[in-house]
Chains A and B, each alone.
Chain A
């Protein structure tokens, strides 16, 4: 029996909602299920604000969360009640059966469980207090109840709980007691819902490892596996955990990480470290990227490798720090002064985060330029089960070193070559002394603003990047679904592509000819491939999480063809159903035109 179950845990900050979600997804991933998960939390630290841990558990790979959950747990009715209608019919709603304060009419979850849903009132607080002496373990009680109700192996949960509290003996002991209390209560509970887990299916090849990991952790893992030497950064939601993870891991591998005073310092240090030949990176979000714009230009004109991981959030300005959005695409591709082309790549899932992070260092080095890896909060915080290969799939050194200089010849750091990439010496290389400056320069690196040189150097800086479109072992774009002519083609990018893929698969099952294309390489743009795909599509739909249609703008700058835009700025991932509706509408209007 194939498993496809979505569980949501809704609570208030401080309820342990996110922690419960973490334990649950780790337990299920450890059992062999595929898990995709996304947490929503408030900007406040504690005490109020809604937290939601959502996860979809499958035997086959899923690409996005579902609109409706099969199971919802309420740790705080005031936050969970608005989400009660997000549980499907015959799904389970688990909630606190009592209250310690008087409630107004409608203030209890029982008032909102729909007639098609199955209620499971549970004395969560009482079980926690009786088993641990405190109400802090309510979240773990619920996990015990879930394990028991759905007949999941308790050992898997115990491992995940043990891992979570491995350095906190008292918390581990209390959690074990609370878990057992929930498990025992489930044994006495009559199961009414139709949610059931089939056996997991393992498809892991020998030598590979499977890990439950989120996008930021995958970025950090990719950077480490690509041999990052130095990292400079300044914390900002939702990118901070990239730096936190690297801060733990880099010293063990001989790397260096410095928290700078701001983003300008961070990017400046990256450019400096890149100049020395180090694999260097920083991470930030939209507001930080704005501050880095000037020094990115320096990296472009100096042809200095460097990697910038950008996790987008709701903007502009401080905007919505804990909500997702894809509205920094213009900034990433075009932001800055002068003709400052750079490579921008955007992974579409957590596995892609790992691969793009590692490949970014290769590209930065191979094409001597800053590379931006563009993700967003949805991908930063989204957990997926990722299969890591036995050996990192990244090249350790792609720097084109200068050959032996002819006697008396000067080393030309910016030599105009056939493929526009110049041999690059780093400080200390014998005979490689040269000048790097923000001024326009000649082949030696010396300031020169002649019309001919500026034209030649501008061409060099643009043309060399086109080679990135053929960078080895890197998926620039990919088509899914029906081959050949289709009624509707969906093109998207970044975290939003999973929803597009799910939508495409569903409408194909309805008989609509449909294909979807993900575009990972945003700059330089893979115009030829995208144009070929669009030529196959009677209608083109471009869903994305920004108001302007920034990817659609980029697309139409390269392929002159009308497209239908689907834009949302709710701060939440796009709903698969919304995309399906739009595909149906487009397919229907096309059919109507044909009939006419």
Chain B
């Protein structure tokens, strides 16, 4: 792809909302620069918030793409799909890809997002669960749940509860095994929780408090039919469903940044300008913890609007700006006039 001589090479790791927005802003701000996106995905950028549509019969990946292929050609944005980053050398400004290719950069934006978190006590049952964090996982899950089938949802973060809305709407049965991660990333007090659970039940979601049943003892396959699942609780009670779907929040994808020279806590630590502790390396989206003067701590910011704003801000600062981070959305969980839950994290454009 032709770029001007001596033009900078901006590399973005991650093709989600933050990464794609950053690439677009970089192209606008630096028309001559080379912009490369590295992503694990085999698809171009698609909106993860649209994924519940698979339960409404939308299975063609083309329907989920945010932009057509021509967009990337027209904007001269290189997209390297199925490319796993093995490591980053901040001092040499080099990225090592797992397939042994090295890519040099002038600036790097890490927007690798997060993957679905599974509590340690449940990791051995991972093969029996149907996660829902990518298009392929969504289509696979939709393929195993029959019409009016029963989904057992573990955890119940706001991504899961968004799906639950669709599942109820499409006349599926949803049983939520609630726990500490229910309503994540909202911070919900003990006082607020009963009302919110009641609101969920009003939405049509059956709720089982995991703690009341002594926690999950095991997940099994084939108890009733080849593909059916059984969730057995420690108190001997059990649930049968067509699929068990984990929604325990996100865990930042930062392993490849170990040894890069960038400080990491749970996510990549960045200053209010979204720059990491390493010169020329920025981070945006679910992968970074931003210093908050108000809270006097590094913290995550979630939600489509926040993530997109972070991608845009990081790109503007890479291109020479020095603007500080300002949250782009409300984070408060509400119960609407209809008695149902309303979350700002469900809003996207």
Q: A97-B82, A99-B101, A108-B101 are in contact. Are A192 and B69 (CB under 8 A)?
A: no
Contact among A101, A105, A119 for B102, CB-based, below 8 A: A105
Closest A residue to B140 using CB positions: A190
Contact among A89, A107, A108 for B69, CB-based, below 8 A: A89
A115 within 8 A of B: yes
B79 within 8 A of A: yes
Q: Are A113's CB and B81's CB within 8 A?
A: yes
> How far does the Cβ of A462 sit from chain B's closest Cβ, in whole Å?
61
B136 within 8 A of A: yes
Contact among B43, B82, B139 for A110, CB-based, below 8 A: B82
B78, B99, B139 interface centre (most CB from chain A within 10 Å):
B99
Residues of chain B within 8 A of A532, CB atoms compared = none
Q: A89-B69, A113-B81 are in contact. Are A192 and B104 (CB under 8 A)?
A: no
A107 to B97, CA, bound (A): 12
B 90-106 binary contact with A (CB < 8 Å = 1; else 0): 00000001111111100
Residues of chain A within 8 A of B71, CB atoms compared = 115
> How far does the Cβ of B67 sit from chain A's closest Cβ, in whole Å?
9
Q: Are B100's CB and A192's CB within 8 A?
A: no
B48 within 8 A of A: no
Contact among B61, B82, B102, B104 for A121, CB-based, below 8 A: B82
A508 to B69, CA, bound (A): 30
A114 within 8 A of B: yes
Q: Are A118's CB and B102's CB within 8 A?
A: no
B61, B82, B83, B139 interface centre (most CB from chain A within 10 Å):
B82
> How far does the Cβ of B138 sit from chain A's closest Cβ, in whole Å?
11
> How far does the Cβ of B227 sit from chain A's closest Cβ, in whole Å?
16
Q: Are B101's CB and A105's CB within 8 A?
A: yes
Within 8 A of A (CB), among B41-87: 42-44, 61, 69-73, 78-83
Residues of chain A within 8 A of B70, CB atoms compared = 115-116
Residues of chain A within 8 A of B61, CB atoms compared = 192
Residues of chain A within 8 A of B98, CB atoms compared = 98
Residues of chain B within 8 A of A107, CB atoms compared = 101
Q: Are B102's CB and A110's CB within 8 A?
A: no
Residues of chain A within 8 A of B101, CB atoms compared = 99, 102-108, 110-111
Q: How many A-B residue pairs have CB under 8 A?
A: 66
Residues of chain A within 8 A of B82, CB atoms compared = 97, 110, 119, 121
Within 8 A of B (CB), among A95-143: 97-108, 110-111, 113-116, 118-121
Within 8 A of A (CB), among B86-139: 97-104, 136, 139
Q: Are B104's CB and A108's CB within 8 A?
A: no
- The total of chain A residues at the interface (CB under 8 A) is 25
Closest B residue to A97 using CB positions: B99
Q: Are A192's CB and B43's CB within 8 A?
A: yes
Q: Are B103's CB and A110's CB within 8 A?
A: no
A 198-226 binary contact with B (CB < 8 Å = 1; else 0): 00000000000000000000000000000
A111 to B39, CA, bound (A): 11
Q: Are B83's CB and A110's CB within 8 A?
A: yes
> How far does the Cβ of A104 sit from chain B's closest Cβ, in whole Å?
7
Q: A102-B100, A115-B69, A119-B82 are in contact. Are A190 and B136 (CB under 8 A)?
A: yes
A99 to B101, CA, bound (A): 8
> How far does the Cβ of B141 sit from chain A's closest Cβ, in whole Å?
12
Contact among A97, A105, A115 for B103, CB-based, below 8 A: A105
> How far does the Cβ of A107 sit from chain B's closest Cβ, in whole Å?
6
Within 8 A of A (CB), among B176-218: none
A331 to B314, CA, bound (A): 69
Closest A residue to B81 using CB positions: A119
A239 to B73, CA, bound (A): 45
Q: A111-B80, A121-B82 are in contact. Are A116 and B69 (CB under 8 A)?
A: yes
> How far does the Cβ of A172 sit from chain B's closest Cβ, in whole Å?
32
Residues of chain B within 8 A of A108, CB atoms compared = 97, 99-101
Closest B residue to A116 using CB positions: B69
Contact among B73, B97, B99 for A115, CB-based, below 8 A: B73
A120 to B78, CA, bound (A): 18
B44, B98, B101, B102 interface centre (most CB from chain A within 10 Å):
B101
B 300-327 binary contact with A (CB < 8 Å = 1; else 0): 0000000000000000000000000000
Q: Are B99's CB and A98's CB within 8 A?
A: yes
Q: Are B81's CB and A103's CB within 8 A?
A: no
Q: Are A110's CB and B81's CB within 8 A?
A: yes
A100 to B100, CA, bound (A): 8
> How far does the Cβ of B190 sit from chain A's closest Cβ, in whole Å?
42
Q: Are B79's CB and A115's CB within 8 A?
A: yes
Closest B residue to A105 using CB positions: B103
Residues of chain B within 8 A of A116, CB atoms compared = 69-70
B70, B78, B83 interface centre (most CB from chain A within 10 Å):
B83
> How far does the Cβ of B76 sit from chain A's closest Cβ, in whole Å?
11
A97 to B140, CA, bound (A): 23
> How far does the Cβ of A46 sit from chain B's closest Cβ, in whole Å?
25
A544 to B278, CA, bound (A): 61
> How far does the Cβ of B126 sit from chain A's closest Cβ, in whole Å?
15
> How far does the Cβ of A573 sit from chain B's closest Cβ, in whole Å?
28
Q: A110-B80, A115-B72, A116-B69 are in contact. Are A192 and B102 (CB under 8 A)?
A: no
Closest B residue to A113 using CB positions: B81
Residues of chain B within 8 A of A106, CB atoms compared = 101
A101 to B81, CA, bound (A): 20
Q: Are B79's CB and A103's CB within 8 A?
A: no
B 161-178 binary contact with A (CB < 8 Å = 1; else 0): 000000000000000000
Q: A115-B73, A118-B42 are in contact. Are A190 and B139 (CB under 8 A)?
A: yes
A107 to B44, CA, bound (A): 21
A119 to B43, CA, bound (A): 9
> How far does the Cβ of B188 sit from chain A's closest Cβ, in whole Å?
35
Residues of chain B within 8 A of A113, CB atoms compared = 81
A100, A111, A120 interface centre (most CB from chain B within 10 Å):
A111
Closest B residue to A100 using CB positions: B100
A120 to B100, CA, bound (A): 17
> How far does the Cβ of A99 sit from chain B's closest Cβ, in whole Å?
4
> How far does the Cβ of B43 sit from chain A's closest Cβ, in whole Å?
7
Closest A residue to B100 using CB positions: A99
Residues of chain B within 8 A of A190, CB atoms compared = 42, 136, 139-140
Q: Are A103's CB and B100's CB within 8 A?
A: yes
A213 to B188, CA, bound (A): 72
> How far does the Cβ of B3 sit from chain A's closest Cβ, in whole Å?
13
Q: Are A102's CB and B102's CB within 8 A?
A: yes
Closest A residue to B73 using CB positions: A115
Residues of chain B within 8 A of A104, CB atoms compared = 101-102
Contact among A89, A103, A114, A118 for B99, CB-based, below 8 A: A103
Residues of chain B within 8 A of A99, CB atoms compared = 99-101
Within 8 A of A (CB), among B21-52: 42-44
Within 8 A of B (CB), among A138-191: 190
> How far does the Cβ of B283 sit from chain A's closest Cβ, in whole Å?
23
Closest B residue to A114 using CB positions: B69
A120 to B136, CA, bound (A): 14
Residues of chain B within 8 A of A115, CB atoms compared = 44, 69-73, 79
> How far does the Cβ of A280 sit from chain B's closest Cβ, in whole Å?
57
Closest A residue to B79 using CB positions: A115
Q: Are B100's CB and A98's CB within 8 A?
A: yes
Residues of chain B within 8 A of A111, CB atoms compared = 78, 80, 101
Closest A residue to B139 using CB positions: A190
Closest A residue to B83 using CB positions: A110
Residues of chain B within 8 A of A118, CB atoms compared = 42
Which B residues have a C-beta under 8 Å from some C-beta of A?
42-44, 61, 69-73, 78-83, 97-104, 136, 139-140
12 contacts between A and B (CB under 8 A): A98-B99, A98-B100, A102-B101, A103-B100, A103-B102, A105-B101, A105-B102, A114-B73, A120-B42, A121-B82, A121-B99, A190-B139
Which 7 residue pairs spanning A and B have beta carbons closest together?
A: A116-B69, A115-B69, A115-B72, A103-B101, A190-B136, A99-B100, A121-B82
In the complex, besides A108-B101, A110-B81, A115-B71, 6 extra interface pairs with C-beta distance below 8 angstroms are A99-B99, A103-B101, A104-B102, A108-B100, A110-B97, A110-B99
